[in-house]
Structure 1
Amino acid sequence: MELRNSPPSLARAPLPERLSPGAAVACCEPETVEIERLHPTQFTVGYREVAEKRRRWRDASPARRQAALGRRKVPVIVGPDGVLYALDRHHWLCALEAEGVEAAPIEISADLRHLDIVTFWLELESRGWCHPYDSEGIRRDSRDIPASIAGLQDDPFRSLASALRRAGGFDKDTTLFSEFQWADFLRRQISQACVAENFAAATEKALQLCRDRMAVS
Structure 2
Amino acid sequence: MAISNSIQPILHPVRIRDLRPTQLTVGIREVHRKREQWRQRPRDEAGGFLGAHMIPAVIGPDGKPWIVDHHHLVLALHLESVEEVMISVVAKLNHLPRKRFVAFMDAHNWLHPYDGDGKRRDWHELPRRIDKLIDDPYRSLAGEVRRAGGYAKVPTPYSEFLWADFFRDRIKRKLIETHFTKALDRALRLAQTSAAAHLPGWAGVDGED
Output the TM-score relative to the length of structure 2: 0.89
* Equivalence map 1:182-201=2 (5 Å): 182-201=163-182
Q: 1:129–1:15: structure 2 CA closer, same or farther, 3 Å change rule?
A: farther
CA offset digits 1:67-126 (Å, max 9, x no partner)? 321221100100001111001000000000000100011111100011111111111011
The question of 1:62 aligning with 2:51 is answered: no
**Which residue of structure 2 lines up, in the alignment, with residue 9 of structure 1?**
none
* Paired residue type of 2:5: P
Q: 1:145 aligns with which of 126, 134, 150?
A: 126
Q: Is the 8 A contact 2:58 2:90 kept in 1?
A: yes
The question of 1:103 aligning with 2:92 is answered: no
What value does the CA root-mean-square deviation take over the aligned residues? 1.9
- For residue 181 of structure 1, give the secondary structure of its aligned residue in structure 2: helix
CA distance in 2, matches of 1:64, 1:175: 31
Q: 1:80 aligns with which of 44, 47, 61?
A: 61
* Paired residue type of 1:17: S
CA distance in 2, matches of 1:68, 1:174: 22
**Which residue of structure 1 lines up, in the alignment, with residue 24 of structure 2?**
43
**Which residue of structure 2 lines up, in the alignment, with residue 18 of structure 1?**
7
CA offset digits 1:160-188 (Å, max 9, x no partner)? 01100111011112332111111111111
The question of 1:132 aligning with 2:121 is answered: no
CA distance in 1, matches of 2:101, 2:206: 42
Identity of aligned residues (%): 39
Structure 2 unaligned spans of 5+: 195-203
CA distance in 1, matches of 2:46, 2:161: 27
CA drift of 1:63 comes to 4.1
* Paired residue type of 1:34: R
CA distance in 1, matches of 2:189, 2:44: 39
Larger RCO (alpha carbons 8 Å, 6+ apart) = 1
CA distance in 2, matches of 1:65, 1:201: 36
The total of aligned residue pairs comes to 198
- For residue 153 of structure 2, give the secondary structure of its aligned residue in structure 1: coil
CA distance in 1, matches of 2:146, 2:81: 28
* Paired residue type of 1:120: F
The question of 1:205 aligning with 2:192 is answered: no
CA distance in 2, matches of 1:140, 1:13: 22
Q: 2:148 aligns with which of 167, 175, 179?
A: 167
CA distance in 2, matches of 1:132, 1:13: 17
**Which residue of structure 2 lines up, in the alignment, with residue 117 of structure 1?**
98
Output the TM-score relative to the length of structure 1: 0.85
Q: Is the 8 A contact 2:2 2:155 kept in 1?
A: no
Structure 1 unaligned spans of 5+: 1-11, 20-24
CA distance in 1, matches of 2:68, 2:205: 35
